[in-house]
Structure 1
Amino acid sequence: MGMLPWLDSPVMLHSDRDPGECTMTPEQCAYKSGYWVNWYQDDHRYALPTVAFFLVAIVLFIFGHWASIFVPARLQRTACWSRLVAFLRFLSYKNWRMMDWSTPCLGAFLLGGAGAVYLLAMTLGPHPYYWPNTKEISFGNSPPIATRAGFMALACMPFLYVLGAKANPVSALTGISHERLNLWHNWVAWAMYVLALVHTFPFIVFHIWKGDIVTQWNDGGIWVTGVVAILAQTWLTFLSIPWIRNRYYEVFKSTHYIAALVFIIFFFFHCDFRLSSWDYFIATAVLYTTCWFYSQLKTWCEHGVRHKALLHRETDDTLKITIPTTTVRWKLGQHMFLRFVAGGAHMLTAHPFTICSVPQHDKASRLVFYVRPRGGITDRLMALATKQPGAAVPVLMEGPYGGVSSQHLASAGSKLVVGGGAGAGLALSFIESYVRDAEGQSSLKVIVATRDPGMRIWYTEALEEIAARHEKGESIPGLSIHLHETGPEVEQDTTKQIHTNDGLKEEGMQLAKEERNVKASGFNLTFSRGRPNLPLVVQEFVEGHESMGIIVCGPASMSHDMSEAAAAAQTKIMSGRGQARDVCFHQESFSY
């Protein structure tokens, strides 16, 4: 019989909507077929409005995205437009720091609150929650609150899977990169999980009252499939809690797709083609497989399988990954998902890293990534780079994704770039872009903070490579770089070990000479000890420019400080105070 015991026979796409002849009193029949409790119309009453709610929210963001692109320049220069944009950005930038955790932005809370109000109203508003059944009279075996919660949970499913895909239509239409949609993927998952629990427990209560819960379980079918589905859903939901996911990322990554597959298979059998329930599985399958195949085609057909990653250990805390390429093109601030074909279980998963270089227009390019090892594959790659400097590892690439997508940030004349730890690598791409295209740009100020005492050496070397690549020996106007060393003060090592084909060679490198060389190349590089006062830096930068972009890549505390400062700048624009009229903020996460 295989799976047939889990499905009614004959199998159809939709179940019959005909309730048959009602044998109860007219009043009882009318009660049973009321607008909010008619089982045969519950998918229309609850699932479709839930779909409409999600679509309305997405359409609003689509309108906002396209308005920012196509609004006439004349309107953009008006005070009303600047204040409207500043208000919307304030909602996107304003968040709070609680111990070691940064909250989502204010706008996310408002939109999430609207969703919570809708789902709570639809779940708890209609009455009754349970049928007033007696031993003699039965209105039905499905508690109304369980039925409506189940259909609303089902309506969440297509959006849950689409929001979790890296290449997805929501990102394409709204300009919101997939990593920022992950918040909504997570919140929709929790909403669906809570609705699933509301769907489950009333059935348990009802069948305990009826006295046949053991019989129902022993019969298998709907109970077995439902329990397996909700167990898989529990695993998916709780393992996605940020502090659990970050601590056990390799376990999370390797089990997430398997648990998601188990969930959707058993959920499919659990729904058993009731009403239009299988339509939502069809929509989910079409949307998600399209997203998945698109990303795979980019990996295998556009980027190919011949790329190799060269590994270099810069310091104990920094791994440099370089991928020579003639086919990949990318923009500032974008990231790639890399799958290292080096054997072991890690080759089954792809990991995101921010690109820290810019493409070369007239010659072969190099994708450069600066990575802070955090366990798993990154620790393994660091060990390989230490043992075999310059080791070449076959790599598959997916992307690029994300980037400085805002039209205003991409075109801002002045930019402030802040990097912390390995996030300092992202600043190198902005520096090189400025060096290459300095004409017509206002200014670029870079602030880098690091606890790694060895970073000073490799960072100055990277700057010298940029100067040599673009033949810049003269001073570059408007460019300044400030490197802050925040770790314990130690005597700087004046030597660096350089790996060559002939073995390990020790080459003396005087730091004072390095600094002179960098300054001579026009980078205006300065070194300081202690943490930079980022809110003050942003305030001074904002006061001196009319239009600017602020970019940050670093620890959560650093990102929070920059986001708060950017939000404060929006309040000044809304109140008409200060010189600034356009302050845009971008946060990158995958270098740190």
Structure 2
Amino acid sequence: MTLIDLVLPLSKRHGGHGDADEPYDPDEHGPNNRPPSAERLAAMLHADNWYDMQKYANRVTWLMLAILILVTVGPGLLHRLRVHRPKLAVSLQRRLPFYFKLVSWGRSVGYLQKGRILPGFRLPALGASIAIALFCAAIFGWTLGVRPYYRKTREWGSPPLAIRAGMLANAMIPFLLALATKVNVISILTAVSHERLQWLARLILTLSLIHTIPFIWQPLTEGGSSNLWAWWKSDYVTYWNGTVALSLMIWMVLSSTRVFRNMSYEFFVIQHIVSTLLFIGFYFFHTDNTLNSWIWLWAAVGVWGFATLIKWARSATASRYFVGAKASVEVSGEELVAGEEMLRIALKTNVRWWPGAHVFIRFPTLAPLQSHPFTIVNLPQPDHHCDSELVLVARVHDGITRKLLKHARSKAASVEAEDDIESESIYMTKQNSSHPLRAVPESSEAYALDSGDAPLLPTRACMVPAIIDGPYGQSSASLQAFDHVLILAGGVGITFATSACMHLAMANADRIQTRSVHLVWSVRSRASLAWFQPYLDAISERFAASKVAYTFTLHITRECISASDAVSRSNSAPEADFGAEKWTAYRGAARERPASLERPHVPSIIRDAAQHAANSSARSLAVVVCGPAGMSDAAANATARLQHDRKGLDEIWLLNESFGW
């Protein structure tokens, strides 16, 4: 049996149907005018043979596996050492010659952030952008650098450029689904959260367009629209399924941008899942296992199916097997201005999470098909055999958070004759000081807020069935490998900071490297402060009992308070002008503390933190930022600039946690 005998069944689809009954006419164009198969095969032998195109998929698969192994062995291993053996990690770094110089040079470029370039579209940090650009350039160079792009005419076979691009894109689909799923080996090994790996979809889309255009361009230029339509009709099923799959991919990429997600995150999730399933179905029919393409598609389905089963299993065990699990939802009892309304969600679970983790919560009685991400405020119980109370605090927007707000208030209105429902998670007790961020029913005078903030506390609560999916996200536990830690939080970005601070406060000081922590929180108003005050007070008390020095700086940016109002609210002295900033007072941990009424100047804060760390004989500084894009960009650029003048420090490291979804 010859090669021609093996490939004849495939020839119709890609430019031939075996030896035609009618002789080939080189002056005619169309699917019914094709040269003999033997001639076409001979013409392809030294011109990127169609039957050898699987080699591109094979090679890019090995390339991507090699890159993942490289990333895993380096940063992934270092992250795990910092989490589990922080002092060993520091010791190993200091023994490597030129390590800090090389790393600082890379960070001086890699941390730079250009910010938003178009509405709803932001580039990654410069280092990630360069890495992505180099990888994409290599793939495009590989795709476009091989000749020929086309056969002599369309009748002589499919354009090599199109098949080449298609096979490269096809081989990347398993990696795309592996990165897109919340439970995936890649994130576990690299310590990079799943939501940070979305750029691959754009590369696959570009390759898909390169795959599509030659099939349109060549027949159109050779015989006009009638010739294009003739080729379309000759293999209608393939072209139709390919068109639908490409359209779905374009929609998925566009709808994944921040501007679409911010419109309605819940709708984004539902349509994205539906679009993905439809895409896979149409893509299966389009490829029809040509050139063994289904090897990669079945691998993609296997990866996605395994991740989905693991996710459902974890969710079931965390939510009492979807029966009886309920969350306490607390909201403010009075209407507040837009953007100031908050809610707190607390629920018992056997889930173990890490500092900085987030979960997805589904409320089946309110929105059965929707789940929403929330960052966890507290830490789990130290005892692994006990259930922990998972606490979430979020600002109310449209979507599920607005539904929860209305539901809690309507439930409270139905029992208006009774006493107001007392919060189950706003207060903490000294008896539970071994785990101060665990919410308990009783209240404690030591942790109570001043009366001026009392009206802002939640006074309406209800129980709502809930299903947990998670935890996910990168851990902030690696901070314990740095001498000084600076945490910058903006708005509800404090949810990431509270668990990170509590983890450092509760850690054994003899086993971690950290000696000082500075938390800076920029908040709009006292209304937001009231929701987090107990957690901040608990953090202060924990640090006071540890060997780690702790400083907390508060900025209230949208509140103009007169001196008389400040006195009446917190029994403090009138605002003072310290340098260029105006200050007021707030009550925390049973005593008054100063609060700035100016926005924090992030570059100055980071520069001062580096100088302070150097003056206190520290050798490393970790800068953590979780806040709006402006704050994140300012922190990234300031940290990048400091790499050239580290104030005598060995390293200045940045953890930039994404704000929003």
Q: Name the TM tier (shorter chain).
A: 0.7 to 0.9
Residue in structure 2 matched with residue 531 of structure 1 by the alignment: 599
Cα distance in structure 2, aligned partners of 1:190 and 1:583: 32
Cα distance in structure 2, aligned partners of 1:320 and 1:492: 30
Residue in structure 2 matched with residue 85 of structure 1 by the alignment: 103
Give secondary structure in 2 for the equivalent of 1:480.
strand
Residue in structure 2 matched with residue 499 of structure 1 by the alignment: none
Q: Which residue identity lines up with residue 59 of structure 1 in the other structure?
A: I
Tell me if the contact between 2:505 and 2:546 (Cα under 8 Å) persists in the aligned partners: no
Tell me if the contact between 1:404 and 1:410 (Cα under 8 Å) persists in the aligned partners: no
Tell me if the contact between 2:362 and 2:370 (Cα under 8 Å) persists in the aligned partners: yes
Q: Which residue identity lines up with residue 84 of structure 1 in the other structure?
A: L
Residue in structure 2 matched with residue 393 of structure 1 by the alignment: 464
Residue in structure 2 matched with residue 198 of structure 1 by the alignment: 210
Task: Report the alpha carbon displacement of residue 397 of structure 1 after superposing the two structures with TM.
Answer: 0.9
Q: Which residue identity lines up with residue 63 of structure 2 in the other structure?
A: F
Residue in structure 1 matched with residue 423 of structure 2 by the alignment: none
Structure 1 residues 71-91: Cα deviation after superposition (integer angstroms, max 9, x where no partner): 875541146122233344445
Q: Is 1:349 aligned with 2:370?
A: yes
**Which range is displaced more, 313-322 or 25-34?**
25-34
Task: Report the alpha carbon displacement of residue 121 of structure 1 after superposing the two structures with TM.
Answer: 1.6
- 1:433 is aligned, of 485, 503, 506, to 503
Residue in structure 2 matched with residue 542 of structure 1 by the alignment: 610
Tell me if the contact between 1:204 and 1:213 (Cα under 8 Å) persists in the aligned partners: yes
Residue in structure 2 matched with residue 166 of structure 1 by the alignment: 182
Residue in structure 1 matched with residue 65 of structure 2 by the alignment: 55
- 2:557 is aligned, of 486, 495, 505, to 486
Task: Report the alpha carbon displacement of residue 299 of structure 1 after superposing the two structures with TM.
Answer: 0.6
Cα distance in structure 1, aligned partners of 2:66 and 2:111: 23
Give secondary structure in 2 for the equivalent of 1:544.
helix
Residue in structure 2 matched with residue 371 of structure 1 by the alignment: 394
Structure 1 residues 394-420: Cα deviation after superposition (integer angstroms, max 9, x where no partner): 11111111233574x233242211111
Tell me if the contact between 2:123 and 2:129 (Cα under 8 Å) persists in the aligned partners: no
Task: Report the alpha carbon displacement of residue 146 of structure 1 after superposing the two structures with TM.
Answer: 1.4
**CA separation of 1:544/1:579 partners in 2, compared to 1, >3 Å: closer, same or farther?**
farther
Residue in structure 2 matched with residue 442 of structure 1 by the alignment: 515
- 2:294 is aligned, of 262, 272, 278, to 278
Q: Is 1:157 aligned with 2:173?
A: yes
Structure 1 residues 467-497: Cα deviation after superposition (integer angstroms, max 9, x where no partner): 78x6x988997222111111141459989xx
Tell me if the contact between 1:353 and 1:591 (Cα under 8 Å) persists in the aligned partners: no
Task: Report the alpha carbon displacement of residue 390 of structure 1 after superposing the two structures with TM.
Answer: 1.4
Residue in structure 1 matched with residue 279 of structure 2 by the alignment: 263
Residue in structure 1 matched with residue 259 of structure 2 by the alignment: 243
- 2:656 is aligned, of 584, 587, 592, to 587
- 2:93 is aligned, of 76, 89, 92, to 76
Cα distance in structure 2, aligned partners of 1:120 and 1:228: 24
Structure 1 residues 504-546: Cα deviation after superposition (integer angstroms, max 9, x where no partner): xxxx97464996863557xx84311111111111111112222
Cα distance in structure 2, aligned partners of 1:492 and 1:161: 57
Cα distance in structure 1, aligned partners of 2:586 and 2:129: 50
- 2:627 is aligned, of 543, 554, 575, to 554
Q: Is 1:460 aligned with 2:509?
A: no
Which stretches in structure 1 are left out of the alignment for 5+ residues? 1-7, 496-507
Task: Report the alpha carbon displacement of residue 123 of structure 1 after superposing the two structures with TM.
Answer: 2.2
Tell me if the contact between 2:521 and 2:555 (Cα under 8 Å) persists in the aligned partners: yes
- 2:52 is aligned, of 6, 27, 41, to 41
Q: Which residue identity lines up with residue 527 of structure 1 in the other structure?
A: A
Task: Report the alpha carbon displacement of residue 39 of structure 1 after superposing the two structures with TM.
Answer: 0.6
Q: Which residue identity lines up with residue 51 of structure 2 in the other structure?
A: Y
Q: Which residue identity lines up with residue 583 of structure 1 in the other structure?
A: I
Q: Which residue identity lines up with residue 391 of structure 1 in the other structure?
A: C
Cα distance in structure 1, aligned partners of 2:629 and 2:8: 55
- 1:133 is aligned, of 145, 150, 153, to 153
Q: Is 1:64 aligned with 2:74?
A: yes
Q: Which residue identity lines up with residue 344 of structure 2 in the other structure?
A: I
Give secondary structure in 1 for the equivalent of 2:360.
strand
Cα distance in structure 2, aligned partners of 1:452 and 1:397: 31
Cα distance in structure 1, aligned partners of 2:145 and 2:593: 63
Structure 1 residues 295-324: Cα deviation after superposition (integer angstroms, max 9, x where no partner): 111111244334322222256524232323
Cα distance in structure 2, aligned partners of 1:380 and 1:9: 60
Task: Report the alpha carbon displacement of residue 40 of structure 1 after superposing the two structures with TM.
Answer: 0.6
What TM-score do the two structures reach when normalised by structure 2? 0.74
Residue in structure 1 matched with residue 427 of structure 2 by the alignment: none
Q: Is 1:221 aligned with 2:237?
A: yes
Residue in structure 2 matched with residue 498 of structure 1 by the alignment: none
**CA separation of 1:95/1:133 partners in 2, compared to 1, >3 Å: closer, same or farther?**
same
Structure 1 residues 536-563: Cα deviation after superposition (integer angstroms, max 9, x where no partner): 1111111222223222211111111111
Structure 1 residues 241-266: Cα deviation after superposition (integer angstroms, max 9, x where no partner): 33233234333222111111111111
Tell me if the contact between 2:150 and 2:159 (Cα under 8 Å) persists in the aligned partners: yes
Cα distance in structure 2, aligned partners of 1:162 and 1:119: 20
Residue in structure 1 matched with residue 447 of structure 2 by the alignment: none
Tell me if the contact between 1:341 and 1:394 (Cα under 8 Å) persists in the aligned partners: yes
Q: Which residue identity lines up with residue 325 of structure 1 in the other structure?
A: K
Residue in structure 2 matched with residue 505 of structure 1 by the alignment: none
Task: Report the alpha carbon displacement of residue 32 of structure 1 after superposing the two structures with TM.
Answer: 1.5
Query: Percent identity over the alignment?
Result: 29
Q: Which residue identity lines up with residue 93 of structure 1 in the other structure?
A: Y
Give secondary structure in 2 for the equivalent of 1:84.
helix
Cα distance in structure 2, aligned partners of 1:591 and 1:204: 40
Residue in structure 2 matched with residue 403 of structure 1 by the alignment: 474
Higher RCO (C-alpha 8 Å, min separation 6): 1
Q: Is 1:324 aligned with 2:336?
A: no
Cα distance in structure 1, aligned partners of 2:252 and 2:531: 41
What TM-score do the two structures reach when normalised by structure 1? 0.82
Cα distance in structure 2, aligned partners of 1:591 and 1:512: 36
Q: Is 1:571 aligned with 2:644?
A: yes
**CA separation of 1:570/1:102 partners in 2, compared to 1, >3 Å: closer, same or farther?**
farther
Cα distance in structure 2, aligned partners of 1:492 and 1:459: 24
Give secondary structure in 2 for the equivalent of 1:531.
coil
Structure 1 residues 102-141: Cα deviation after superposition (integer angstroms, max 9, x where no partner): 531122222222222222222222222221139xxx532x
Q: Which residue identity lines up with residue 396 of structure 2 in the other structure?
A: P
Give secondary structure in 1 for the equivalent of 2:648.
coil
Cα distance in structure 2, aligned partners of 1:102 and 1:213: 38
Q: Which residue identity lines up with residue 529 of structure 1 in the other structure?
A: L
Task: Report the alpha carbon displacement of residue 38 of structure 1 after superposing the two structures with TM.
Answer: 0.3
**CA separation of 1:519/1:40 partners in 2, compared to 1, >3 Å: closer, same or farther?**
same
Tell me if the contact between 2:523 and 2:529 (Cα under 8 Å) persists in the aligned partners: no
Cα distance in structure 2, aligned partners of 1:10 and 1:261: 29
Tell me if the contact between 1:336 and 1:353 (Cα under 8 Å) persists in the aligned partners: yes
Cα distance in structure 1, aligned partners of 2:401 and 2:169: 37
Give secondary structure in 2 for the equivalent of 1:127.
coil
Cα distance in structure 1, aligned partners of 2:641 and 2:136: 28
Q: Which residue identity lines up with residue 234 of structure 1 in the other structure?
A: I
**Which range is displaced more, 450-459 or 509-518?**
509-518
Q: Which residue identity lines up with residue 307 of structure 2 in the other structure?
A: C
**CA separation of 1:103/1:222 partners in 2, compared to 1, >3 Å: closer, same or farther?**
closer
Q: Which residue identity lines up with residue 420 of structure 1 in the other structure?
A: G
Cα distance in structure 2, aligned partners of 1:493 and 1:370: 31
Cα distance in structure 1, aligned partners of 2:185 and 2:91: 31
Task: Report the alpha carbon displacement of residue 326 of structure 1 after superposing the two structures with TM.
Answer: 4.9
Cα distance in structure 2, aligned partners of 1:532 and 1:461: 23
Task: Report the alpha carbon displacement of residue 67 of structure 1 after superposing the two structures with TM.
Answer: 4.8
Q: Provide the aligned length of Structure 1 versus Structure 2.
A: 547
